Structure 1
Amino acid sequence: MSTWHHLIADLKLLWETGVKTYDAYMKEYFNLRAILLWTINEFPAYGNLSGFVTKGYYACPICSENTCSQWLPNSKKVCFLGHRRFLPLQHPLRKRKKYFNNQQEDGVIKQPLSGEEIYDYLTGFETSGEKNVCESVYGTLLNLPGKTKDGLRARQDLEVMGIKLELQTQPRGNRTWLPPACYTLNTTEKHQFYETLSTIKVPNRYCSNFKNLVSDDVSKMNGLKSNDCHVLMQQLLPFAIKGVLHVKVRKTIIEEALEFFSDYLKNMKSIGNPHERVDERIRTGKPLSRGTVEGVDAKLLDEAHLYVLRNTADVELQHMLELNDHNPRASRNSKWLQTQRSRTFISWLKTKVDTHFANGEDICESVRWLAKGPSFAVKKYSGFAINEYRFHTTSRDESRTTQCSGVSLVAHVMQIASAKYSNPMYGAVTYYGRIQEIWDLDYRIFTVPVFMCDWVDSRGIKKDDFGFTVVNFARLDHQSERLLVI
């Protein structure tokens, strides 16, 4: 790997600065600049050179997150399907089910990213230095040969400097013993460190599965990509060492790591999904599982419909103004106004739209169908992709090594100091929850995905000593609305 780093350094020097070179024909020196245009290599080497993960569910560098893959539980490997997507839309093989996966192929291929799109995607990422620092930190903690910065030579330097007598080398027969430092993990602590990393669930494609990067005898940790080091140092390390080091040692390591990366990465993009969210409210989205059509409780369906209206229709302000005009005295009570809005908005919108339509007035088609309300037959899914994000139900996540059921929401809500106050204050509150069900409400000409969530009570949310938000999902708020529209 050191040879690879030297090669990169030489290539950057050749392109950015150049080197002084002698021209034997002209008998003079000139500044030579060069660039590596392409390489010829097999697929695994392609992954090593580019940093792209060429194995697992998203192994195709062209299809990326749209790779059609499936895990074979008996063969213990991933197979890749969906090749019929590359055929013309009217090709007869698209309709042949039994010859393939018993499904008709309706999908189409996505255009590969252009050079400009790839450049924009990667702008701001400079993680080679971060990767080196990360390897030094966990290599020293785990005392990994070749990666630790606390080896024999470092201890001999302590002897030369005459400091840290308790850490200086000690002869043991024909061998030299290095006393363990306060930051060195023993075998039991290493197992606990690796166990913590291997059981942490993160969203799809957030980072590699650390369980696959650790050797069976926990003697080494190999194959970490730059993004893995980024995630480890910024988010996972504080939890991995929480129970294995003395509190003062742990606090020093975490503070130094966070301070370094806050300075080093202050102009870089945050980890996770780098795509910008799509600014649209009503869209079909993409189910990630087969749906089941079920009848739901009418009251709960009305709640879901009301939540959709509040987040999609641009007519709620008019409803609030009419409530104020018709009830000037009562509308001074914000709590009463909020209750009336929730109780009457659905019927008010339907009446308003029907009246305008009967009078021949122009009405936005989406608003007209929203006013009619959703179908009583609701399609439910265990997974859904929308606005460039993937969402799963908790039941789907239970059998997976990743999790996409966690959600957070910043909402402007009423905050009541006590029962004596009838005019509450409005403020921004962050809610944390998990998705229990995914509904796709059918409004005839479009559908709207709605998530049924369990939200955590405010008493189950706190900040730890390092500013991380800790959420206790055992403390649920049973009075909050369970709905969420993405």
Structure 2
Amino acid sequence: MKAMGSGYTKIHACINDCILYRNEYKDVKICPTCGKSRWKVDEKEKIMYENIPAKVLWYFPIIPRMKQLFQSKTIAQNLKWHANDRTHDDVLRHPADTPAWATIDKRYPEFANDPRNLQLGNDIDVFLAPLIDDLELLFDVGVETYDASSKEMFTLRAVVLWTINDYPALGTLCGCPYSGYKGCPELQARIEGNKTTLPAASYTLTTEEKTMFCETLYNLRVPQGYCSNFSSLVSLKDRKLIGLKSHDYHMLMQQFLPIAIRSIMPKSTRDAITRFCFIFKSICSKEIKVKELDKLQEELYVTLFLLEKYFPPSFFDVMVIKGHVRNKNKPEGCIAEETIEFLSEFQKNMNIVGIPPEKHNNFGNQNDDYSISLRDGTPVSACRSVQVSLDLFIKAHFYVMQNTTEVRHKAFLKNQHPFKRNAWLENEHTYPSNMIQVEKELSVSKESVSETVRWISHGPNTNVLKYDAYNINGYTFRTKCREGKVHQNSGVSVVGTDTHISKEVVTYDQNSYYGVLKEIWVLDYHLKKIPLFMCDWVDNKNEVKKDLIGYTLVELGRLGHKDDPFILASQERQVFYVTDQLNKKMSIVFMTRPKNYRDTYDNVDEEFSTVLFPHNDNILPRVDPLDLRKESRNDYFRTDCPGIVIHKEHENP
């Protein structure tokens, strides 16, 4: 690591976390606070091992890591994006859009003059004294750093904008009670016959509920690369979650926890958790509209009140790193791995072991003769050239003609039949009586048409190229019969325009359609090849529903739109389906974010913005204001499951 421009420092610490043996305590052998030895002691044998520290802090200095950021030209440019390229509007997409950032700029104008100076968020803890020293140096003096993007040296400075504390830190820093008599709601013991029992808390799960919770997560099948395989993270025998990584916890909180508790626990407790998950999802989004922050904060107040009402303070604690690294005896080793991975980002021609290169692009695979002229995605499976039924072949070709922007068939019809009403023109465009006539009209049109249109008008090769897997738009798709048992890459969604023709009136509606990928076709038009997906579509009329908290539910077994199975591969959005606990016939739809997703910042991405408002998917469970004013001991425990027996009288013989 030192060869890569970074390293770590070992600092001895008190066994009780009182002090770090540095600065004025550098040569001290006994902790001045608790009196414990600096060295390791075998309490059983009463042996002290001199020069073997009882506890060691591995400190990875922040200054070399910050300097490394500017050694990458791309990252150095990104670090100045907020000053050079940021859109100044009412959307919160960067800390520079916050009042805290503006306050620092106003209070310390000399700091704000150089956009390369960093403004940070940070955790507070007794072991962060070395970090605090580095931050003070960065703020008061700065360090000389090379900027690869501008090819010059500058003085790098940094300031802390926010601190993030776990719940027990409120007791240490703010005097807030988090344990003891006032630390949590009291569950009053009850005498039932010869037993004294402590009632089950409102968040307690029965054995059946634990099983249902674990089975829901165990049966999750998500697209490849979306998150870890949850079936390997769930022990059905022990009814526990095991081995989750940081990203898995994020996915659990933002996506899966609300559906895993969808039919279990008391409704009030379940709603509190669901509200928290939806708010957590919203603050983790790429962009938040500033005008929505006040509403978000109001909802957060209510949600925190509900959480504090039903859960003890011990629930509000950040995860401990040592509990989640692979090597629990040497967690610093795993942290070192993370640091090496971070540093490798700035070394040329270095690949991180275990992370495959980016495969999601739209430029084709030059090693595949069939895909050289493909402009829309890349096949990632073997190709089969087959002949298909004439009926499906015509439908596929017609769909291409209808959805190629250069094919202006409707305009052509209007020019040829100027006195026909819109209803007739729309009907003839949508349901032509003679496909051959349409092709002929386009091929001999006197209007200026592109070479692409002329090739399309002549029709594709009668042999269709079929694949089982395809990369496009940042997604990996696999046909239903080829996706295996671990992942689900066959879910497809498309936004379509429904045309309603009633006598002389034409109306249009936009609707989302959901289905499963059945086959991947590529039509060869000689000049270009066009990929299409043939899908089984859910009947939109009766089998697509919205529930009270905004989830879209579909019945995959009820199909419709069988005469219109095709879409262009470029039109799709990937989704995956999770079986609903409340109705096993229904499935909950989850939208997948593309892997090569990049923020354009030109417009707010409504789909991935905040989740609290009508244009987003989820709706916070409603809370009656009157319920917030009521307080009852019955809110804190369950009556539908057994409590804990804390004392049992022996019956006289």
Contact 1:194 1:218 in 2 (8 A): no
Task: Give 1:290's aligned residue.
Answer: 382
Task: Give 2:48's aligned residue.
Answer: none
Task: Give 1:305's aligned residue.
Answer: 397
1:151-203 CA-to-partner distances (Å, cap 9, x unmatched) read xxxx99574579533479x9x99xx9865312122333222211111111111
Task: Give 2:459's aligned residue.
Answer: 373
> What is the letter of the counterpart of residue 231 of structure 1?
M
Task: Give 2:534's aligned residue.
Answer: 452
Task: Give 2:520's aligned residue.
Answer: 438
Alpha-carbon offset, residue 461 of structure 1: 0.9
> What is the letter of the counterpart of residue 165 of structure 1?
L
Task: Give 1:4's aligned residue.
Answer: none
Contact 1:196 1:240 in 2 (8 A): yes
Q: Distance in 2 between matches of 1:203 and 1:34?
A: 36
Task: Give 1:198's aligned residue.
Answer: 218
> What is the letter of the counterpart of residue 377 of structure 1?
N
Q: Distance in 2 between matches of 1:125 and 1:401?
A: 36
Task: Give 1:218's aligned residue.
Answer: 238
> What is the letter of the counterpart of residue 186 of structure 1?
T
Task: Give 2:274's aligned residue.
Answer: 254
Give 1:393's match in structure 2, choosing from 474, 479, 484: 479
Q: Distance in 1 between matches of 2:262 and 2:382?
A: 40
Local SS of the residue matching 1:400? coil
Contact 1:335 1:424 in 2 (8 A): no
* Length-normalised TM-score, structure 1: 0.59
Contact 1:431 1:456 in 2 (8 A): yes
> What is the letter of the counterpart of residue 484 of structure 1?
I
Give 1:35's match in structure 2, choosing from 43, 63, 70: 63
Contact 2:363 2:376 in 1 (8 A): no
Question: Structure 2 matches for 1:67-466, cutoff 5 A?
Answer: 116=74, 157=179, 159-160=181-182, 163-166=185-188, 179-215=199-235, 217-218=237-238, 220-263=240-283, 265=285, 267=287, 283=375, 285-316=377-408, 319-329=409-419, 331-335=420-424, 337-340=426-429, 342-343=431-432, 347-354=437-444, 364-397=450-483, 399-415=484-500, 421-458=503-540, 459-466=542-549
Bigger-Rg structure (1/2): 2
Q: Distance in 2 between matches of 1:287 and 1:279?
A: 11
Task: Give 1:136's aligned residue.
Answer: none
The change in CA–CA distance for 1:349 and 1:119 in structure 2 (over 3 A counts) is: farther
The change in CA–CA distance for 1:335 and 1:207 in structure 2 (over 3 A counts) is: farther
Contact 1:306 1:346 in 2 (8 A): no
Question: Aligned residues: percent identity?
Answer: 35
1:283-338 CA-to-partner distances (Å, cap 9, x unmatched) read 2532222232221122321211111122224131xx32332243344x31425532
The change in CA–CA distance for 1:346 and 1:430 in structure 2 (over 3 A counts) is: farther
Q: CA RMSD in A?
A: 4.6
Q: Distance in 1 between matches of 2:232 and 2:388?
A: 42
Question: Structure 2 matches for 1:48-63, cutoff 5 A?
Answer: none
Q: Distance in 1 between matches of 2:76 and 2:523?
A: 36
> What is the letter of the counterpart of residue 432 of structure 1?
Y
Higher strand share: 2
1:53-107 CA-to-partner distances (Å, cap 9, x unmatched) read xxxxxxxxxxxxxxxxxxxxxxxxxxxxxxxxxxxxxxxxxxxxxxxxxxxxxxx
The change in CA–CA distance for 1:354 and 1:289 in structure 2 (over 3 A counts) is: same
The change in CA–CA distance for 1:37 and 1:223 in structure 2 (over 3 A counts) is: same
The change in CA–CA distance for 1:311 and 1:352 in structure 2 (over 3 A counts) is: closer
Relative contact order: is structure 1 or structure 2 higher (C-alpha 8 Å, sep ≥ 6)? 2
Alpha-carbon offset, residue 278 of structure 1: 6.0
> What is the letter of the counterpart of residue 474 of structure 1?
G
Q: Distance in 1 between matches of 2:445 and 2:184?
A: 91
* Length-normalised TM-score, structure 2: 0.45
The change in CA–CA distance for 1:118 and 1:415 in structure 2 (over 3 A counts) is: farther
Contact 1:284 1:446 in 2 (8 A): no
Bigger mean CA deviation after superposition, 187-196 or 361-370: 361-370
Total equivalences in the alignment = 342
The change in CA–CA distance for 1:364 and 1:229 in structure 2 (over 3 A counts) is: same
Alpha-carbon offset, residue 345 of structure 1: 6.4
